Structures are given as structure tokens and as C-alpha cells.
Amino acid sequence: MPCISLMVQGTTSDAGKTTLVAALCRILQRRGVRVAPFKPQNMALNSAVTVDGGEIGRAQALQALAAGLEPHTDFNPVLLKPTTDKKAQVVIHGKVAFDLDAKAYHDYKPRAMGAVLESWGRLTAAYECVVVEGAGSPAEINLRDRDIANMGFAEEVDCPVILIADIDRGGVFAHLVGTLDLLSPSEQNRVKGFVINRFRGDISLLESGLTWLEERTGKPVLGVLPYLHGLMLDAEDAIATVTVDSQKAPKIKVIAPAYPRVSNHNDLDPLRLHPEVDFRWIGPGETPPPADLIVLPGSKAVRADLEWLRSKGWDTAIQKHLRYGGKVIGLCGGYQMLGLAINDPLGLEGQPGSTPASACWNA
């Protein structure tokens, strides 16, 4: 029997694509269907290690868990890990290939599509169903040329699509109608229906809008998903700040700087979600408050983020923290910051050079 596929695309980033794909994978897995998740191209600084020794976006690792599978590089064949505002590390089939700026990667996309289709071929041969997650929005018309992440991929493999939109942002009907209107006729025909996410309130007040949407577009509303409070899933892009409500007084106060290229920030989720830990991310405009522990998280551009820390006064704050008996822990790039110097002679994370490190807070 041929493999069945379905692609979930969103009207915006963070519309709920990841969660819906994970939910569909879990439902199908519970019904005995051999199902796998797939995301052709992901851009994220949070990654997960795969069973075949590579790395993929954490969203696909979550979806693999929902499907009862070990994470595999075929679930996310192209992963982009930004190093600057204009440049990213390109990971193909779980392995670092090279660093490219936006224009160079755009030129590379036809070759990247080859890697995507290789993984797609293996998955559709091995599973009964593949549930695909798009990236961002298919209505980003400036990115339509050589698209491998949304409709470009769906058209290439003839995959049906559903659109999901977040009603909690406001403007959900404009999001859905506008997105559909910006698609080509063949892409519009590929959209089989809509899902509205994060609804809270009286559903009867929404029904007239659903009727209008179906009449206006000729597409059915396939479901309205509730706002799920306390859904503590890995954040893929934006740093998660929600904490667990607890009646216990915190035993330790922990802070961490949210520098521009922070990576794998969900390494700190066990602290953020622990009922006896008062954990806070400290943003660029905030003064670091007193704490028992400062954690320097990972970074995709260590020297640049270290300079950012200095520019925001963290060197002075850390010196004071240490003088009063506080502790500092570094993870990955943050651990490198605790060394004597960070050397990048080849310019792998920015301009070639060397930056003095922990002397700034041990002085």
C-alpha cells in the first residue's frame, strides 16, 4: 500500500504546526499506523542528537517521540543554525556541511532539495504515513523561488496541505484568507482545509466566523483546538519563560543571560520548570538581579555573545556576584567563556580573531 502523506503549514511562525504534527503522529501511532514526522528544512538553534549520530531540530525529535520512534536525521534533512543575522551553519543529513550567507544558501537550495527528496524517499518506503511540518508561512512571497520548506516541497511530492492559524494572536480570519489568497491556483487547490489553534472562550461565538470562512474560501474548517494551559513542550525558537506554579518557597534563585545567539536554551528547562527553583532569563534591557547561581548558556557565536555580555554590563555584575559568594556555571559556549581566551583563527563563528574570556569577571 502506498505511503499516505499530509503537510501542516502555518499562517505564521508559532501558529502550532509542531504541536499539531506531534498530535497527529501520536494519534496515528496509537491506532497502529507506522507513522513518521518530517520537516524538509528547519531553522533553529535548538537541536537534538539522533540515533544515527547526527542532529535535527528538537521539534522533530519531539514528533519522533510522539510517533514512538528514535530521532533520525531523515526526519529533518536540512537544518539551518544561524550564526549571524545574515549567515547560518548548514547541516545536511545531520552533519555540518558549511556556513553560507542568505544569498549563497538561496543559490544552494536546488541541491538542498536533493537531500530533502532522498530522505523523503526513504521515509515513504519505510512507513505507512508521513506527517510533514512546514516552516514559517507559505505566503512569504519573497521566498517562493526555489522554496523547499513549504509549497515548493508540497508541489514537488504532491502532498496535501492543511493550514493552521493561531487565534490567540488576533486576526485569525485575515491570516487564513490572506495566506490562501497569496498562493498560486495549484497551491490553493492543494489546501484541503483549516485548523484554528489556541481558542479559549465560548465556541458558539466563533461559529458565525467559521461559517463565513468556509463560504468565503470553499475550504472546510477541520478543527478548532483549545488553548492548552501548562503544555510544557520544548521551545524551538523563542525562549520559553513560563514557569510551574508551586506552593513551595524556592530554595535557590538562578538567572541566565538571554544573549542574541543563545543556543539549546531548553537545556535550562529543568531549572525553569522545577517547583523549588526561582529561574529567570534576563533580557538585554534588564539589570541582573541578585541570585545564587548564574548560568551562561550555549551560544552559536561565542565571541560575539561574550562581547554582548560585556556591552550590557554583565562583566561587572558577575564580578559582584562572585564577590558575594555566588556561583557561575557555563554550558557549551558559556563554558568556553569561562576559559582564558576564545580563539577563532578561521572565522568559523564570525570575524577571525581571539577574545579574552573569563579575565573580565575574575579581575
pLDDT over 80 at 361, yes or no: no
Domains with residue ranges and CATH for the chain: 4-226 (3.40.50.300), 252-362 (3.40.50.880)
The mean pLDDT value for 3-14 works out to 96
Identify the three-state secondary structure at position 178: helix
Model pLDDT, residue 250: 84
pLDDT over 60 at 350, yes or no: yes
pLDDT over 80 at 233, yes or no: no
Length of the chain: 363
- Give the distance, in angstroms, between the CA of residue 340 and the centroid of all CA atoms in the same chain: 32
The amino acid at 22: A
Q: What is the maximum alpha-carbon separation in the chain? A: 69
Q: What confidence category does residue 249 fall into, taking pLDDT thresholds of 50, 70 and 90?
A: confident
Give the contacts of 84 (CB within 8 A, at least 6 positions apart).
301, 304, 350
Give the contacts of 212 (CB within 8 A, at least 6 positions apart).
173
Model pLDDT, residue 363: 47
The mean pLDDT value for 138-157 works out to 94
Model pLDDT, residue 264: 81
Separation CA 279–CA 198 (nearest Å) = 26
- Give the distance, in angstroms, between the CA of residue 358 and the centroid of all CA atoms in the same chain: 31
Model pLDDT, residue 244: 57
pLDDT over 60 at 241, yes or no: no
pLDDT over 60 at 238, yes or no: no
pLDDT over 90 at 112, yes or no: yes
Separation CA 280–CA 213 (nearest Å) = 41
CA-based angle 295:301:304, to the nearest 5? 90
The mean pLDDT value for 132-161 works out to 95
The 10 Å Cβ neighbour count of residue 104 is 13
The mean pLDDT value for 270-288 works out to 89
Q: What is the mean pLDDT of the chain?
A: 91
Interior/surface letters 140-173, b for 16+ CB within 10 angstroms, e for the rest: eeebbeebbbbbbbbeebebebbbbbbbeeeebb
Identify the H or E element spanning 60: helix 58-66
Of the chain, the percentage scoring pLDDT greater than 90 comes to 71
How many CA atoms, within 13 angstroms, populate the side-chain half-sphere of residue 319? Answer: 12
Separation CA 84–CA 92 (nearest Å) = 19
169-195 pLDDT, tens digit each: 999 999 999 999 999 999 999 999 999
Separation CA 246–CA 333 (nearest Å) = 31
Model pLDDT, residue 243: 58
Burial class (CB in 10 A: 0-12, 13-18, 19+), 9: buried
Q: What confidence category does residue 245 fall into, taking pLDDT thresholds of 50, 70 and 90?
A: low
- Give the distance, in angstroms, between the CA of residue 44 and the centroid of all CA atoms in the same chain: 5
Q: What confidence category does residue 242 fall into, taking pLDDT thresholds of 50, 70 and 90?
A: low
194-222 pLDDT, tens digit each: 999 999 989 999 999 999 999 999 999 99
Model pLDDT, residue 240: 55
The mean pLDDT value for 60-70 works out to 97
How many CA atoms, within 13 angstroms, populate the side-chain half-sphere of residue 320? Answer: 10
Region of 69 please: left (phi>0), alpha (psi -120 to 50) or beta: beta
